Structure 1
Amino acid sequence: MQLNFGNFYIKPIQIKDAWSLCNFIVSNEDRLKRYFSKTLEQNLTPTLSNIFVEKKIKQFNLKEEFLFTIKENETNQLVGLVYIKELNWTKKQGEFAYCIDYSFEDKGITTHAIKILSDYAFDEIGLKTLQIIVYKTNIASIKVAENCNFIRKRTLENEFTPSGEKAIDMELYELYSEIE
C-alpha cells in the first residue's frame, strides 16, 4: 500500500525503515522529547529502531496500532510519522498522533497526510471516529486538526503526563465517518 500526494507518499512502516527512522528520531530529538518520549527512547540507536519497527509491523498486522511513514518521492527521505493508535474496536475509534521533521514543517505535509489517512481509516480500516488530542499551545497541530475538519469537542483534564512533568490538560478534536 502506498498513498501519494504532491512530492510525498505514505506507507506502513517497513523493516527497511529502521535506519532512517533512527536518523529521523535523533535529528528531531528536541521536537519529540515532550510528546513522543516513548518513541524517542525506543529509537536512539539503529538496533533499538530495528526492534521497534519489528514490533510496529506486528501491531499493524494484528490491527492493534498502525504506524505510517511519510517520505519524499525523489529522495525517499523519511520526513514524518503518523500513528493511528488507541484503537477501540467496539466503538470503531482511533486516535492520530503525528510528527514532522523540523525542516519540513509549515508546508502542509502533515495536513495532507491526515486527510488521506482519515479516508483510509474510514474506508479500509473500518473506523467511524478519529481523534486528535493536542496541547492548547501546539498551534501547528491544532491547525492540522482544523484544516482536516476535526471539531474541538472538549478539554480532557490531566490527560497527558510528559516525562518529568505534572499531568496537563489536552484538547480533544474528533472527525466522524458519518455525521452524527
Structure 2
Amino acid sequence: MLSFKGYNITPIQLQDAWSLCNFIVANEERLKRYFPKTLEQNLTPDLSKFFVEKKVKQFSLKEEFLFTIKANESGELVGLVYIKELNWDKKQGEFAYCIGYPFEGKGITTKTISIVSEYAFTDLNLETLQIIVHKDNIASVKVAENCNFIWKRTLNNEFTPSGERPLNMELYELYNEIET
C-alpha cells in the first residue's frame, strides 16, 4: 500500500498472525507498559490469529485501522501503527505506534506516521489526528514533534499501566490544513 526507503506499510492481513506473534513476544518488555492489551492478545500463535481476524474485520468496517511496517527485503515485521479512537462525527482519530528493538532510532516510525497521516487526511477524510504520549517516552514525543503535531495540553490520569498508578499523558494534535 504505502512504502518508503526499504519499508512498506500495509493494512494488517490474515497471513500476518504468525509474524505478529513473533514481533510481540520479541518486544514483550517494551510493549508491556503502553501496549498491554495488544501484548496479552498476541502471546501465542492462536491468540494472534484471533487478534488479526478481529483487526482485519475492524479495518474493513472502518472501526480501527491497524497497519504493519515491514522490511521490504526480508518481509520482517518491524512495527505497528494504529489509527484508533475514531470519531467520524468530529473526523478525528488517534495514533498508537511501536517499533521493534533493532529498528528504533532509525526514523522509521517518524516516516511511517508522516505517511499514514497523509493517508488519514486524504483517504479517510479525517481532519484531526492525535498522539497521546507520556512525557518520559522521549522517542514517542520526538515522533509527534518531528511529524509537526502540536502539543495541546496535559491529560490528567489519562492512562493506567498494569500495576501502576494513573499517568498524566501529553496530547499532541495535527490538523488537515485544507487549502481553499
Normalized against structure 2, the TM-score is what?
0.98
CA distance in 2, matches of 1:87, 1:72: 28
Counterpart for residue 60 of structure 2: 61
Counterpart for residue 162 of structure 1: 161
After superposition, the C-alpha distances for 1:112-137 in whole angstroms (9 at most, x for unaligned) are 00000000000001100000000000
After superposition, the C-alpha distances for 1:49-103 in whole angstroms (9 at most, x for unaligned) are 0000000001000100000000000000000000000000110000000000000
- Structure-to-structure mapping, 1:1-180, within 5 angstroms: 2-178=1-177
CA distance in 2, matches of 1:80, 1:46: 18
| One-letter code aligned to 2:120 | A
CA distance in 2, matches of 1:38, 1:156: 21
Aligned residues: 178
Q: CA deviation at 1:164?
A: 1.1
CA distance in 2, matches of 1:9, 1:112: 11
| One-letter code aligned to 1:154 | R
CA distance in 2, matches of 1:31, 1:17: 20
What RMSD in Å do the two structures reach over aligned CA positions? 0.6
CA distance in 2, matches of 1:33, 1:4: 28
